[in-house]
């Protein structure tokens, strides 16, 4: 499981910026780990696809990666460009392309109140970083 998480983080933090170089929308690209006071790191990126995030619960700790989806994973995994969905048990994915930092803002069709509290904490911390970057 740890190797899978490492590979996902590596892929989306290194490969995603290489292929996302257009100026259609700015996405938050980074990583967040932890529940109530998560560790968050990342930056903004001009993206020619959808902004997206994947959140996985590992040993009762939420881990999220935020990325530019220039490879259309959103269409393949959740069959939508502006929605959140559980891909498999414990792994949720959100995709959007409607505004800057939409992969961390409350702009999804998925009601935020239905997300577990630990995910809400991560979203709040990432939004604070996005405000600093703006």
What are the DSSP E strand ranges found in the chain? Answer: 25-33, 39-47, 50-58, 61-69, 83-88, 91-96
Percent of the chain with pLDDT over 90: 4
Q: How confident is the model at residue 111 (pLDDT cuts 50, 70, 90)?
A: very low
Length of the chain: 134
Domain locations along the chain: 2-133
pTM greater than 0.85 (yes/no): no
Q: Which residues of 12-45 are buried (b: 16+ CB within 10 A; e: fewer)?
A: bbeebbeebeeeebbbbbbbbbbbeebebebebb
- The gap between the terminal CA atoms of the chain, to the nearest Å, is 35
């Amino acid at each position: 499981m740890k190797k899978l998480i490492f590979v996902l983080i590596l892929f989306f933090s290194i490969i995603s910026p290489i292929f996302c170089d257009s100026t259609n929308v700015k996405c938050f690209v980074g990583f967040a780990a932890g529940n109530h006071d998560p560790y968050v790191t990342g930056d903004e990126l001009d993206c020619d696809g959808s902004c997206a995030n994947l959140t996985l619960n590992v040993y009762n700790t939420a881990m999220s990666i935020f990325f530019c989806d220039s490879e259309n994973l959103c269409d393949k995994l959740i069959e939508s460009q502006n929605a959140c969905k559980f891909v498999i048990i414990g792994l949720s994915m959100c995709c959007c392309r409607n505004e800057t930092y939409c992969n961390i803002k409350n702009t999804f069709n998925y009601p935020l109140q239905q997300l577990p509290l630990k995910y809400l904490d991560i979203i709040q911390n990432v939004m604070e970083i996005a405000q600093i970057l703006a």
